[in-house]
Amino acid sequence: MSPEFVFLLHPGAAQDITDIWEFIADDNPLAARRVQRVRDYLIAYAPDEKPIVVLAVLHGRRSPRVMAAILRERQGV
């Protein structure tokens, strides 16, 4: 039996995914459908929560200060 992975998406993380898709789709809708470039994105999550909560999905080239501000804001929700 394989372990079941359960997680919740913070509303902001769900919006991050939509924003990423829309950003890519503006330039190339077909590329947006097949986006799998996960190595370019950071997935921030709260590992001590049960189930795990995905707080954000952020592009790795974003400013660390911006990323920290986003995460501080979302941890309070």
pLDDT tens for 33-60 read 887 676 788 999 988 888 889 999 999 9
Q: Kindly report the pTM of this predicted structure.
A: 0.74
Cα–Cα nearest to 19, from 70, 64, 73: 70
Question: CB neighbours (10 Å) of residue 32?
Answer: 15
**Is residue 2 in a domain?**
no
pLDDT of residue 6: 82
**Is residue 16 in a domain?**
yes
**Is residue 1 in a domain?**
no
Q: Is 47 helix (H, G, I), strand (E, B) or coil?
A: coil
Range of the domain at 71: 7-75
Question: CB neighbours (10 Å) of residue 54?
Answer: 21
Across 43-47, 49-53, 65-69, 71-75, which has the greatest mean pLDDT? 65-69
Strand partners, 53: 8, 46
**Alpha helix ranges (H) inside the chain:** 11-27, 29-33, 64-75
Per-residue tokens: 17 = 């995914």
- 65: pLDDT confidence band, cut at 50, 70 and 90? very high
Taking only Cα atoms into account, the Rg of the chain, rounded to an integer number of angstroms, comes to: 14
For the chain, the domain total comes to: 1
